Amino acid sequence: MTAIWPDHLFPNHLFLVGCGNMAGQMLSRWLSEGLEPARVTVLRPSGKPVADGVAVVTDYPAALPAGTTVLLGMKPYQIADVADALAPLCAADTRIVSILAGTTLAELRSRFPAARDIVRAMPNLPVGLGEGVTALFSDDATDSAARDAIGALIQPLGLVEWIADEALFNQVTALSGCGPAFLFRFVDTLARAGEAIGIPADQAARMALATVQGSANMAARAAVSPSTLADQVASPGGMTRQGLNVLDADDRLLALLTDTLAAARDRGEAMARGE
């Protein structure tokens, strides 16, 4: 049964600029949660259909409906062209949500001077399942009611985390934005390690994925932290403890993951400098 979209989540119209991998996942979740397709317009140069009942346009309309929420979902380098066409259509009641990596709030404010409420969002791909993570940031110029409305719009996509400091965007992107790829690599490596100690490859692959999925679900429901859970399931002198000792020696897993996130963060900072 289709969920009924709570009206307070979405007062008027959603205008998506670009609807590729990421914005497409967001829209797909909103539609499956009951957002009326008639409230959505997608602008994409290819004109490819998106979903039944969603209007797709290849050029900007003459005007946006009052109170439109715009989702900027194209590539960051397209911001100048998009702003040239879109900024004149924006008014004080236009809300802008930008998922453009590396495009600062100050730049968005300068490109869309008429829009008062602007929020940066960094979603990750599982938003399509409603199991994503989206970091949000805005400043005091954005009305608190608009922040609440945008937070409520993002909430069906999974965990929503407002961050206090925009300078942390590359850090949170390294963790949750890039995190799915790191987890995919971990699952694959766990399977290959199983194979290396003698488990048939296809069985190791199935077991590694199900182990990660089940353990993540268990940790999400547990009353204690993952760190405590790990210790609770590792009896002294047992097999699990022996394996954890390898991961824990010299904090090697921590060092590996810190290096991984730092490399992703540093790349984000370099891209923001145009390198």
Ligand X SMILES: NC(=O)c1ccc[n+]([C@@H]2O[C@H](COP(=O)([O-])OP(=O)(O)OC[C@H]3O[C@@H](n4cnc5c(N)ncnc54)[C@H](OP(=O)(O)O)[C@@H]3O)[C@@H](O)[C@H]2O)c1
Give 122: exposed, middle or buried? Use CB within 10 Å, 0-12, 13-18, 19+: buried
Nearer to ligand X, 123 or 158 (CB): 123
Nearer to ligand X, 178 or 205 (CB): 178
- Interface residue with ligand X among 81, 139, 251, 259 (CB under 6 A) is 81
How do beta strands 158-162 and 95-98 pair?
unpaired
CA angle 157, 163, 168 (to 5 degrees): 115
Residue with tokens 């810190």: 258
Residues between 110 and 149 that touch ligand X (CB under 6 A): 122-123, 125
Give 28: exposed, middle or buried? Use CB within 10 Å, 0-12, 13-18, 19+: middle
**Which residue in 178, 188, 190 sits closest to 261, CA to CA?**
178
The answer to whether 26 contacts ligand X (rule: CB under 6 A) is no
The answer to whether 274 contacts ligand X (rule: CB under 6 A) is no
Nearer to ligand X, 122 or 204 (CB): 122
Q: Which stretch binds ligand X (CB under 6 A): 32-40, 77-85, 139-147, 222-230?
A: 77-85
The answer to whether 78 contacts ligand X (rule: CB under 6 A) is yes
Nearer to ligand X, 21 or 228 (CB): 21
The answer to whether 76 contacts ligand X (rule: CB under 6 A) is yes
- Interface residue with ligand X among 31, 71, 100, 205 (CB under 6 A) is 100
Q: Are 27 and 44 in contact (CB under 8 A)?
A: no
